[in-house]
């Protein structure tokens, strides 16, 4: 990544703080935000994170498919019961 002449450090919450600034002014905040977005864009971070999450979701689904199918059946049955109850007790 090319240098942007802004030193930033992770703040521990997934964002970055400007190094050497007690309270960045609006211009510094904008520069930091632009730098962060450009960096994430350069490394294709959004797509990489989405791919990683999809990978974990696929693993979870594969490992828990039977339980998920059973849960879906129970939820569908509960929904049908609720819909019948509502239909039988509807106020005209």
One domain, residues 54 and 79 = yes
Number of domain units in the chain: 2
Average pLDDT, the chain: 84
pLDDT reported for residue 19: 58
Q: Is the pLDDT of residue 17 over 80?
A: no
Lowest mean pLDDT among 1-5, 31-35, 62-66: 1-5
Asked if the structure places residue 27 within a domain, the reply is yes
Considering only CA atoms, which of 11, 57, 44, 8 is closest in space to residue 29? 8
pTM of the model: 0.51
Q: Is the pLDDT of residue 33 over 70?
A: yes
Mean pLDDT of 1-18: 58
- Between the alpha carbon of residue 52 and those of residues 19, 21, 56, the distances in Å are 30, 34, 6
**Stronger pLDDT, 48 or 7, i.e. the higher one:** 48
Rg, the chain, Cα only: 25
**Stronger pLDDT, 32 or 69, i.e. the higher one:** 69
Asked if the structure places residue 81 within a domain, the reply is yes
Mean pLDDT of 30-46: 91
Residue 8 near residue 18 (C-beta atoms within 8 A): yes
One domain, residues 58 and 78 = yes
């Amino acid at each position: 990544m090319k240098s942007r002449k802004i030193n930033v450090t992770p703040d521990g919450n997934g964002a970055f703080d400007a190094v050497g600034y007690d309270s960045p002014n609006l211009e510094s905040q904008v520069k930091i935000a632009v730098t962060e977005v450009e960096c994430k864009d350069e490394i294709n971070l959004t797509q990489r994170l989405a791919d990683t999450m999809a990978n974990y979701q696929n693993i979870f689904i594969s490992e828990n498919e039977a339980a998920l199918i059973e849960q879906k059946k129970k939820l569908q049955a509960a929904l049908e019961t609720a819909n019948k109850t509502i239909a039988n007790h509807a106020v005209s």
